[in-house]
Amino acid sequence: MQTSISDKTGDGVKIGLECHVQLTKLKTKLFCGCSADYRDREPNTSVCPVCLGLPGTLPVPNRKAFDFAMMISKALNCDIARLSSFYRKNYTYVDLPKNYQISQYEAADGSRTLARNGYLTLKVNGENKRVGIWRIQLEEDPGRNVFKGSITTSPETLVDYNRSGVALCEIVTAPDINSPREARLFAQKLRSIVEHLGVTDGGLQGSMRFDANISVGGGKSVEIKNITSFKAVQKALSFEISRQKSLRNRGAQVNRETRHYDELRKITVSLRTKETEEDYRYFRDPDLMPIRIGEDAIDAIAGEMQELPDARAERFATQYGLPEYDSGVLTSSKVLADFFEECVELHENPKKVANWLMTELLGYLNEKGLEIEDLKTTPGHIAALLKLIDDKTISGKIAKRVMREMLETGARPDEIVRARGLTKIADREELAGVVESVFEEFPDSVSDAVKDPKAANYLVGQVMRKTMGRADPEKTNKLVRERLEQVGAR
Ligand code: ZN
Ligand code: MN
């Protein structure tokens, strides 16, 4: 007998994300004085007995890490626990020198992680959608495994402990996300928030990493570990939905397991059957006292917080008169929002700036698969380009070509215009010459246009073509019509 899947639970895709945000703006690691800036160093040079897990050492918590994690908790509308504690999450892996990770845990004895019960609001198809936040916790990053090529095919693993002990803020969502695209939107918005808070630089490789739990149609949940880019979040989840659906269509079981997303091969591969909580043998870390956070500390943090993306979007709408959609796009990344505001300081038309950034600049980045951090051009150059249009030195059409070259090379717009001879032709004599040659070339169109003035547009178009868009449109129009009157009078 065939059973149909009901609409409500049905094909429903449920995704929960565990987001690890590295607090890259901290100078030191979470429990020792080693530099947290591990990226540009020789492997295994930013290490000490504490973060190497040598016996007899004691961890000392980094106060600033709590401030940063509290800011994230506030920004995500969470309740901050007055008392939270550190636990040992035990597992054995080469990147973990102590064989346990210091983390936080919600235990039966009432122990709490730093914060819980919050939400983040996403704009999905023009509607506000709330994604629940289950909990937020501080924990330490393991070391970094270095593979040759892909993790699944590398013949050997090298380990760099410079990252061992760097502070992570883990954010766990409810399974409220219903599509790979929504998951990507969530990740992007979270990045914009933590960048606005000034606690991390999301542009750094590996500074935001995601684990995703996904179930399709009420089936078993599969975990995909360690996804490191927004694009990969969407791709890994899309792949996983197809994989689970095709298993179900064949009548096969979806196993509860942990899979890895292989970015090179663009597939997920099984790593192991999923651990349960018990496998980690959590217990309270006897080296660390419980963390007590007073009301005054929470108030102090709230006072230090910078403007967040939603508030900034609202300000963009009122201060610059932008549509809600534009404000949302421009504040989707702190770097982009800052870039926009720097342009607006130099050019008085915010809507015009917004249009050029959203269509030409974002279009270019999208097409090339680049991030806003990769931009070669500057707000000064963008403002100068718009000024060239305002002054009618170049047409809008030519400006698009110039913008393209600015984005590709970083050159100044006036230099490009000069080097390529793109200045608008406004000289009457010069234009009249081009109009004359077009009239000679298209006698049939000329006689059409004498009878029907609307057909004159074709001749104007030919002048634009001959001058590669450089002819001043108003002057060309006027000249073509004058010349048509002369021809008609004959
Ligand atoms: Zn250390
Ligand atoms: Mn974690």
DSSP assignment of 86-155: EEEEE---TT-TTSEEEEE---TTS---SEEEEEEEEEETTEEEEEEEEEEEEEE---EEEESS-TTT-S
Task: Look up the pTM and report it.
Answer: 0.85
Which of 243, 269, 302 is where one domain is finished?
302
pLDDT for residue 61 is more than 80 = yes
CATH of the domain at 461: 1.10.10.410
User: Is 5 within a domain?
Assistant: no
pLDDT of residue 392: 82
* In a shared domain, residues 275 and 383: no
Lowest mean pLDDT among 4-18, 193-207, 393-407: 4-18
Are residues 314 and 283 located together in one domain of the fold?
no
pLDDT tier at 441, thresholds 50, 70, 90: very high
* Predicted local confidence at residue 5, as pLDDT: 35
- 202 domain residue, yes or no: yes
Token pair for residue 82?
């007055």
Q: What percent of the chain has pLDDT over 90?
A: 71
Q: What is the predicted pLDDT for the residue at 219?
A: 85
Output DSSP code: residue 177: B
348-353 average pLDDT score: 96
**Claim to verify: residue 208 and residue 114 sit in the same structural domain:** yes
Q: How far is the CA of 29 from the centre of ligand 1 (A)?
A: 7
Find the farthest-apart pair of alpha carbons in the chain and give their distance in angstroms, rounded.
106
What distance in angstroms lies between residue 39's CA and the mean position of ligand 2's atoms? Answer: 20
In single-letter form, the type of residue at position 157 comes to T
| Strand 283-284 relative to strand 86-90, pairing | antiparallel
Claim to verify: residue 349 and residue 214 sit in the same structural domain: no
**What is the tens place of the pLDDT at every residue in 127-183?**
999 999 999 999 999 999 888 777 777 888 899 999 999 999 999 999 999 999 999
DSSP 277: G
For residue 6, name the pLDDT band (cuts at 50, 70, 90).
Answer: very low
How many A from CA of 137 to the centre of ligand 1? 21
Q: Are residues 113 and 251 in the same domain?
A: yes
Quick check: is 86 in a domain? yes
| Residue 463 located in a structural domain | yes
Q: Which segment of 72-81, 261-270, 293-302, 430-439 scores lowest on mean pLDDT? A: 261-270
What integer is the mean pLDDT of 120-132? 93
Task: Name the token pair of 315.
Answer: 């300000």
d(CA 394, CA 98): 65
- Give pLDDT, residue 273: 72
Cα three-residue angle 449-455-460, rounded to 5 degrees: 95
Q: By C-alpha distance, which of 126, 161, 173 is closest to 50?
A: 161
- Residue 3 pLDDT > 60: no
Distance 274 CA to ligand 2 centre (A): 15
Q: Would 7 be classed as within a structural domain?
A: no
Tell which residue, 141, 209, 207, 221, has the closest CA to residue 174. Answer: 221
Q: Which residues of 189-200 are buried (b: 16+ CB within 10 A; e: fewer)?
A: bbbbbbbbbebb
- pLDDT above 90: residue 262: no
CA 37–ligand 1 middle distance (angstroms) = 12
List the single range of 52-56, 269-273, 284-288 with lowest mean pLDDT.
269-273
Encode pLDDT of 292-310 as tens digits: 999 999 999 999 999 999 9
Mean pLDDT of 322-341: 96
Based on the fold, state whether residues 119 and 173 are members of the same structural domain: yes
Are residues 344 and 290 part of one domain? Answer: no
Tokens representing 452 are 């029907």
Mention every residue, 6+ apart, whose C-beta is less than 8 A from residue 116.
78, 79, 81, 106, 133, 134, 135, 136
Complete DSSP assignment for 362-398: HHHHHHHT--GGG----HHHHHHHHHHHHTTSS-HHH
User: 4 in a domain, yes or no?
Assistant: no
User: Which of 302, 337, 363 marks a domain boundary?
Assistant: 302
At 430 the pLDDT is 87
- Residue 156 and residue 19 share a domain: yes
User: Mean per-residue pLDDT for 187-210?
Assistant: 95
The count of domains in the chain is 3
The answer on pLDDT for 343 being more than 50 is: yes
| CA 15/CA 4 separation, integer angstroms | 23
Of all ligands present, the nearest one to the C-alpha of 58 is 1
**Parallel, antiparallel, or unpaired for β 115-124 and 79-80?**
antiparallel
pLDDT above 70: percentage of residues in the chain: 97
Distance 170 CA to ligand 2 centre (A): 6
| The pLDDT of residue 471 | 86
Q: How far is the CA of 304 from the centre of ligand 2 (A)?
A: 27
Of 108-122, 143-157, 224-238, the one with minimum mean pLDDT is 143-157
Residues 327 and 236 in one domain: no
Give the count of alpha carbons within 13 A of 324, CB side only: 6
Q: Are residues 249 and 202 in the same domain?
A: yes
The chain-wide mean pLDDT, for the chain, equals 91
Given 398, 420, 442, the domain boundary residue is: 420
Assigned domain for 125 exists: yes
| Ligand 1: centre distance to CA 81 (Å) | 28
The ligand whose atoms approach the alpha carbon of 44 most closely is 1
What distance in Å separates the CA atoms of residue 404 and residue 461, rounded to the nearest whole number? 23
Task: Please report which residue ranges of 133-285 form alpha helices under DSSP H.
Answer: 180-197, 230-249
Ligand with an atom nearest the CA of residue 225: 2
For residues 237-242, average pLDDT: 94
Mode of pairing for the β-strands spanning 222-227 and 257-262: parallel
- The residue range of the domain holding 398 is 307-420
Do 69 and 205 belong to one domain?
yes
- The answer to whether residue 9 sits within a structural domain is no
The span from the CA of 46 to the CA of 161, in Å, is 8
188 shares a domain with 70: yes
Confidence category of residue 57, pLDDT binned at 50, 70, 90: very high
**Token digits for 151?**
């993790």
